[in-house]
Structure 1
Amino acid sequence: MEHLRHKVAVITGAASGIGRGMAETFAEAGMRVVLSDVEEPALHATTATLRDSGADVHAVAADVSQAGDVTALAEAALGAYGAVHVLCNNAGVHTGSRPSWDSTLDDWAWILGVNLMGVVHGIRTFLPIMIEQDEDAHIVNTASLAGLMTGGSLYGVTKAGVLTLSETVQLELVDGGLKPRVSVLCPGLVDTNIADSHRNRPARFPDAGPFPADWDFDAARKAFELGASPRTIGGHVLQAIREQRFYVLTHHDFDDHIRHRTTQFLNGDNPTRLPFTGG
C-alpha cells in the first residue's frame, strides 16, 4: 500500500502506548483514523489531542475480547468513513503468575480473550469487509518478541498464537489471490504502561494469581519507560504497510535469543534461555 493519504485505519488499544504511536504516525501521514480502546477516559483524551493537531479521527470504545464490541467497532468505522483500509489488532494486556501453574483460570481467560481472541475477532469481522472492498488493504497484528523466545509464560503463549494465526491468514490471502495483506509486529520493550494492565482488568475476572515474591512494579515500569518510543514503533509499522512486509521486528538486540531457540528446535535440544544483556 504505497498511497495511504486519506485511507482509513482502525486501531485497537489506541489510547496509549504502541496504539497511540500508530495513530499519531498514521495521522501525520494523512490517514483518517478510528481509535478504539477499553479505557474510555484515555481514549477520549488521545482523540481530542489528535483532533487539536488537525487529525481526522474518530473514537469508539470497545472491548476486543467481546465479538459484539468488535462488530460494533466495524459498523462505527464504516458509518464514519465508509471503508476500512488498515486494521491494527493491537490491544493487549499482561498478567499471570510464575510459576505459570499458579495462574488462575481468570488470568488465562482475560489474557487469551484480549491478546488472542481480540485478534481473531478483528480478523473475522474486518477481513471480509476488506475483501469485499476489492482494494489494497492491510492488517497489522501486534505480537511480541515474547512469542518468539523461550519462557514467555501466559503472555508468550498468546503472542505465539498471534504469530501463527497471522502467518496462516497471510498465506490464505496470497493463495486465494486476494488483495489484503498481513504484517505481524514483534516488538521488545516499548515505553508503554502494559506493566499496569491490571487497571483495566474486568470485574468478571476477579481471581488473579499471585505475583512472585520478588516482583517489583516500579522496576518493571522503569524497564518499559527505557524502551523504544511508541512513535518509533509506529514508524516501523507504517513502513511495513507501505512495503507489504510481513515480519516487523523492531528490537534486533534480541536476535540471538530467537536464533538460540530456533537452533534448539533443529538440534532437538531441551529448552534453555540465554541471559538478558540489554534491550
Structure 2
Amino acid sequence: MITNFKGKTAVLTGAGSGFGLECARIGAKLGMNLVLVDVQQDALDQATAEMQALGAEVLSFRLDVSKADQMQAMSEAVFERFGAPHFVFNNAGVASGGMIWEGTVSDWEWVLGVNLWGVIHGVRLFTPMMLEAAAKDPSWQGHIVNTASMAGLLNAPNMGVYNVSKHAVVSLTETLYQDLRLVSDQVGTSVVCPYFVPTGISQSQRNRPAQLDSQKPTRSQLIGQAMTDKAVGSGKVTAAEVAQKVFDGMAADQFYIFSHPRALGNVHSRMECIVQQTNPTDPFAERPDIGRDLKLALRAT
C-alpha cells in the first residue's frame, strides 16, 4: 500500500483538462513532482502555472501521445530530471461516435493512436524504469494508472471505434497487472473506468491532427456527438471526485476504479450473456430510454 506521496514523481498525460488536471491538482497539494503532458498548449500552460503556484516542481511537455518518438524523448527527459517516476497516469483520451462501419481510416488511426497507443507507449517506456528502481531499493514503490472507460466493459451502440480502444486498454491493464505480479511486489497498476463525467472529452475534435482530418460527419456521428454532449454535460460525478477515487485506489492497491459503481449491473448482464452463451442484451438496460431515443433518431426520415 502506498501512503506517502510527498516528494514522489508523477507523469500525467492529458494533464491540461479533466481527470489529468484534477489528479495533478491533488498531486501538487501532496507535494509531488509533476510531469505534465498535453497536446493543447494553452491548457498545458495554464495547468503548469497553477501547479507551480501550488508549490510543485513541474516539467511540461506539449506532445502527441500516439507518437513513439515524442513519448521516447519525454521519458528520457523525465528520467534525467527526476529518475524513474513513481506514478504514471496514462490518461490522455479522445472520443468518437457513429456506426462502426462508418468510421474512416483516419477515425480509427486517431482514436486508437491516442486512446490505445498513448497507453502502450506509457507502459513500455516507464515500466522498465520503475522495475529497475524497485530492484535497487526494496522500499521503492510505484503505480501505473491507465484510464479506460465503462466503454471498455460495455459495448454501447453508435460508439464502436471508442469502445474498441477502451476495451483494449482494459485488456492491456489487466495483463500488465498479471505480468507485474510475476516479477515484482513493488509496482502496481489500476484501470480507471469512468462513466459519464463532465470533462472536455466530448469536444475532442478540437485537438484532432490536421493530417487525420475527418470527413463531413455522417448522420449517426452527429447523433452520437449530440448524445455524448448531453450525457457528459449532465454527469453528476465530477472529475475531481474521480481523481480522488484514483488516489484512494492507488493507496489501497485497488485495481478496478469506477466513477459509477451502480452501472456495474450492465456489466454483470453482459458477462451473464457470455457465460450463458446468449445473444448480447441492451447495454443500457437500466436506462432503456437511451436506447429508445437513439433508435428513434437513427430511423427518423
TM-score by length of 2: 0.87
- Kindly provide the CA deviation profile for residues 161-196 of structure 1, in whole angstroms up to 9, marking residues without a partner as x: 001111111111111235211100001111111111
Deviations 1:238-274 (A, max 9, x none): 0111111111112123111111101101110111213
Match of 1:87 in 2: 88
Note the alpha carbon deviations across 1:33-88, whole angstroms, 9 max, x for none. Answer: 11100111110111112212323322111211001111112122223323310000
Distance 2:160 2:224 in 1: 18
Structure 1 unaligned blocks of 5 or more: none
In structure 2, give the amino acid aligned to 1:275: A
Query: Which has more helix, going by share of residues?
Result: 2
Say if 1:96 and 1:108, in contact at 8 Å, map to a contact too: no
- Residue 145 of structure 1 corresponds to 150
- 4+ residue segments displaced more than 6 Å: none
Greater relative contact order: 1 or 2 (C-alpha under 8 angstroms, separation 6 or more)? 1
Counterpart Cα distance in 2 of 1:226 and 1:32? 33
Root-mean-square deviation (Å): 1.9
Please give the alpha-carbon distance, in whole angstroms, between the structure 2 residues aligned to 1:139 and 1:49. 24
Distance (whole Å) between structure 2 residues aligned to residue 221 and residue 100 of structure 1: 19
Q: Distance in 2 between matches of 1:73 and 1:178?
A: 27
Larger radius of gyration: 2
For structure 2, which runs of at least 5 residues remain unmatched after alignment? 135-139, 291-301
Which whole-Å CA distance do the structure 1 matches of 2:174 and 2:224 have between them? Answer: 35
Is contact 2:31-2:55 (8 Å) kept?
Answer: no
Counterparts in 2 of 1:197 and 1:140: CA distance versus 1, 3 Å: same
Q: In structure 1, what is the equivalent of residue 49 of structure 2? A: 48
Do 2:97 and 2:224's aligned partners in 1 also have CA atoms closer than 8 Å? no
Q: Read off the aligned partner of 1:42 and give its amino acid letter.
A: A
Q: Which residue of 238, 241, 262 corresponds with 1:232? A: 241
Q: In 2, are the aligned partners of 1:103 and 1:210 still within 8 Å (CA)?
A: no
1:197 aligns to what SS in structure 2? helix
Maintained 8 Å contact 1:12/1:91: yes
Deviation of 1:276 (Å): 5.0
The structural deviation recorded for 1:208 is 3.6
Whole-angstrom CA distance in 1 between matches of 2:205 and 2:112:
15
Higher mean displacement: 46-55 or 263-272: 46-55
